[in-house]
Amino acid sequence: MSKVAVHGDGEEAKVAEHQGHDPQTDLDAGARFVLKSKGSWLHCGYHLTTSIVAPPLLSLPYAFKFLGWAAGIACLVIGALVTFYSYNLLSLVLEHHAKLGHRQLRFRDMANQILGPRWGRYFVGPIQFMVCYGAVVACTLLGGQCMKAIYLLSTPDGTMKLYQFIIIFGCFMLVLAQIPSFHSLRHINLISLILCLAYSACATAGSIHIGTTSKEPKDYSINGDSQDVAFGIFNAIAIIATSYGNGIIPEIQATIASPVKGKMFKGLCVCYMVLSVTFFSVAISGFWAFGNQSEGLVLSNFIDINGKPLMPKWFILMTNTFTIAQLSAVAVVYLQPTNEVLEQTFADPKSEEFSARNVIPRVAFRSLSVIIATTVSAMLPFFGDINSLIGAFGFIPLDFILPVVFFNLTFKPSKRSLIFWLNTTIAVVFSAVGIIAAVAAVRQISLDASTYRLFANVCFPIGWF
């Protein structure tokens, strides 16, 4: 029996199981140990929510600053509709191949089979790794910055530096990184779902309170010359697009127990119910309260230019604490593709998962990956600018372009059909958006380059994700 066939929900896999053969034994170590297929659709919803509804949503009022009310809300709605649609298309493609006995557990597996081995090895695989590991670095950086914000509220004259808080957050990540499989994160990701609702509610309530009590006039006009306005628009679109980014849909669907049919759609419904509440409430309340003075993270607006909190300290501390806690869950989720590659490379699938042969390299290499991410985030506190470029090159292709391309190549809809032209339009439009967003990110890097310092002691970055 072929190695691919035993991955599937097809008759070959069922026959193998009936004959007493365990299909899991034919998987490589990465698929067998990290991408265990044991979860329900509800667990899938937890994973999806953690990977999408994350602290980047706190930058949505900042994106509205460059778009205004009408365009901002329109982009938010379009982003939700297109990503929900494209993620469902990706799930349908995965289900189709699973029925044929070729269950694909990773994004690069899909690219290998649909586009060819070179696409999987040299394009999709590296881009996905870059995006996911970049997300881990960004989460570590923001976690350190939130910890520093709490420290400065409690001790205004404190002397601790940003890199020290990043190291503290990294030490916490060292522990979480040892959780063996993606499926093992289901309870943590349920807590993460609750936390994202909590800090979004805090951000919304804080914005409404400040906006109601402030005597400062609200200005919703878009400032700057025509060039700044144009680049600001594309930067804002990139922020919104990457806020909806996921990049690990196949890996999340791989955690679902067979049969997988229809379960991803239910999980996406859970995720997008949470997303609708959090994204729109934070974006609209934040922009209403602060207008074109919105900061890169709306929580920065809760403190005035003199460092005086505009909300009770306990409220800001609580909001930052919720954010830090969820950041750790988000970082662990985006570590899974790295963990899977490390297990595939260094573990032995024929040995037991918790044997010394597998535990020792697992702990060593997962710890090394966290240490590297922590070091990069401490050295490069301006990583938000770099990650904007990574997002333009990574999240937009993985989440907006490839799903519709995979669907058209797999199901081959008629060129006269609505779905063919809808998918083609999405691919073309977001290819252009990705290119322009990349140019805008490069421009921002060049503008900010003079302020870059290794181990700089900064607070919140603009466009961190």
Instruction: Find the largest Cα–Cα distance for the chain.
Output: 75
pLDDT digits (tens, 9 = 90+) for 14-55: 434 443 444 455 788 888 999 999 999 999 999 999 999 998
pLDDT digits (tens, 9 = 90+) for 388-399: 777 777 888 999
Secondary structure percentages of the chain, helix, strand, coil, to 5: 75, 0, 25
Residue, of 281 and 233, whose pLDDT is higher: 281
**Looking at the domain assignment, is residue 456 inside a domain?**
no
Q: Are 296 and 464 in contact (CB under 8 A)?
A: yes
Count of beta carbons in the 10 Å neighbourhood of residue 273: 12
Q: Is the pLDDT of residue 458 over 70?
A: no
Q: Give me the CATH number covering residue 62.
A: 1.20.1740.10
**Looking at the domain assignment, is residue 185 inside a domain?**
yes
pLDDT of residue 241: 85
Total count of domains within the chain: 1
The pair of three-digit structure tokens given for residue 450, joined into one six-digit string: 């003079």
Distance, C-alpha 33 to centroid of its chain: 22
Q: Is the pLDDT of residue 354 over 50?
A: yes
Which of these ranges, 89-98, 152-161, 342-351, has the smallest mean pLDDT? 152-161
The pair of three-digit structure tokens given for residue 355, joined into one six-digit string: 């044997």
Residue, of 345 and 26, whose pLDDT is higher: 345
**Looking at the domain assignment, is residue 465 inside a domain?**
no
Please report which helix (H) or strand (E) contains residue 285, including its range. Answer: helix 263-290
pTM of the model: 0.89
Residue matched to tokens 């127990």: 257
pLDDT of residue 296: 82
State the pLDDT confidence band at 7, using cuts at 50, 70 and 90: very low
Which of these ranges, 172-186, 221-235, 402-416, has the smallest mean pLDDT? 221-235
How many percent of the chain have pLDDT more than 90? Answer: 53
pLDDT digits (tens, 9 = 90+) for 50-87: 999 998 899 899 989 999 999 999 999 999 999 999 99
Cα 217 to Cα 412: distance, rounded to the nearest angstrom: 55
Return the amino acid letter for 4. V
**Looking at the domain assignment, is residue 183 inside a domain?**
yes
**Looking at the domain assignment, is residue 211 inside a domain?**
yes
pLDDT of residue 242: 83
**Looking at the domain assignment, is residue 23 inside a domain?**
yes
Residue, of 238 and 178, whose pLDDT is higher: 178
CA dist list (Å): 386 to 36, 137, 401, 445: 33, 11, 22, 7
Neighbouring residues of 34: CB distance < 8 A, sequence distance ≥ 6: 180, 181, 182, 336, 339, 340, 343
**Looking at the domain assignment, is residue 353 inside a domain?**
yes
Neighbouring residues of 185: CB distance < 8 A, sequence distance ≥ 6: 47, 50, 179, 329, 332, 333, 336
Residue 359 domain boundaries: 5-451
pLDDT of residue 300: 86
**Looking at the domain assignment, is residue 462 inside a domain?**
no
How many percent of the chain have pLDDT more than 70? Answer: 89
pLDDT digits (tens, 9 = 90+) for 94-139: 999 988 888 889 999 999 999 998 898 889 999 999 889 989 998 9
CA dist list (Å): 114 to 109, 111, 453: 9, 5, 44
